[in-house]
Amino acid sequence: MADFVDNLLSRAEVNRGRRASQSSLDAISERIGTPIPRPLSRLWCTGKAIAFETLDAHVPSPAEILQWIDDGSWGDELIERGFVPILDDHQSNYLAVTVRAPLAFRIVHLPHDDESRLLYRDLDSFAKAMLMALDAGESADSFFRETQGDYSPDAPRSPDDQDAARALLATDGTHGEWNYAIQMLDATNLAEWAKLLETDHFVRRDAVARMRQIQAPALQELLKRDQLAFEEFARAATDAARRAGLKVGQRKSENLQIGGTWMNLDVFFYRRNIRDAMRRMIAWFEDLIAGRNPYDRPGHFMMD
């Protein structure tokens, strides 16, 4: 990585200074609970923030990051997930390096108005991208919002990416691990895609969107079977609602109008095989229509 960092820091439009102190690096390491990777400490060549004036962005200094952590600007959840900011575009959007396995040391884009996404496999790719951004003459906000980085939808993924994705899928997904796994799978990971199709609506939605971008017959067949299963489920839900005396209106994609309320059936689809699923789902609909909290019902649809 040194060549790319040296090239980056030698650019005339980059303001650099002296290397950050070891004590500041140690303080950040203590806050995030893991050692600072050597490439990152190499990038922190200055005691002050590294400014990219033409990009209207800067690499936060260790002292600045410590202040963000201490005053809560860089929240506890980001620290728990091992995210360390490496670029601030002055538009409330950030790039962060992940310092905990299995994502380490990938670069994540954290826009203020959208979901986070993986952007680069390592700090080497980040440094190369910064050089490209400087040459393009765009703002950092525009450049990183529009680029696909190392994770274009239909590109093959490295063995390391696939191993990391499987490790993420082995977690409970509390901190978005499964959504990141979606970005590190490719057409060869049929078993993993099948698992993701049986997860909650928000993970499943991202999985389906990514799968539709991968032009592989086996993966498209998996999507087709999933859609047929959803259509069967939607018909069963419609029939069950009518038998329960509920007024069923029109359907738009995965949304079905029941009792004057739009129900997103995809929210319920992944739990279609639980015990007594249809009866419990209809009870959930009845509670929503009546203005009751469906979670208050003993044995509600999302309970087990």
pLDDT over 90 (residue 68): yes
- Provide mean pLDDT across the span 108-130: 90
Confidence of residue 5 (pLDDT cuts 50, 70, 90): low
DSSP assignment letter at 55: G
- State the DSSP code for 295: G
Residue 1 has a pLDDT of 44
Can you give the residue ranges of every domain in the chain?
A: 2-146, 159-215, 236-296
pLDDT for residue 23: 82
Q: What are phi and psi of 92, to 5 degrees?
A: 65, 25
pLDDT of residue 12: 58
Residue 21 corresponds to which tokens in the numbers above? 């102190």
Return the CATH architecture of domain 2-146: 3-Layer(aba) Sandwich (3.40)
Exposure pattern of 185-199 as b/e (b: 16+ CB <10 Å)?
A: bbbebeebbebbbbb
Closest CA to 62 of 80, 36, 81, 39: 36
Mean pLDDT of 235-247: 97
Instruction: Using the CB atoms, write b or e for 101-123: b if 16+ within 10 Å.
Output: ebbebbbbbbbeeeebbbbbbbb
pLDDT at 36: 80
pLDDT above 70 as % of the chain: 92
How is residue 100 written in tokens? 């905990």
Q: What is the pLDDT of residue 299?
A: 95
